[in-house]
Amino acid sequence: ADSVGSTTSVAPIAEEDEEEVDDTGVDDKDIELVITQANTTRAKAIKALKNNNHDIVNAIMELTML
């Protein structure tokens, strides 16, 4: 079977029921980095970046220092 092991379309976990967040002005690479480092959702990563004036380190700190 040729289709076995195909990983071309991996769906993000629980993104469907997550609220839509406006990511205008936020760099996708920054968002991905915060998601990975803080082990969080895209929505929370965007909010944290906006809360911290797009500062990646402070955004990650906000999400991980609870």
- Tokens read off for 35: 């998601």
The dihedrals phi and psi of 61, each to the nearest 5 degrees, come to -60, -45
| pLDDT value of position 11 | 47
pLDDT digits 0-9 by tens, 23-44: 999 999 999 999 999 999 999 9
Across the chain, how many H-helices and E-strands are there? 3, 0
pLDDT at 66 over 80: no
| pLDDT value of position 16 | 46
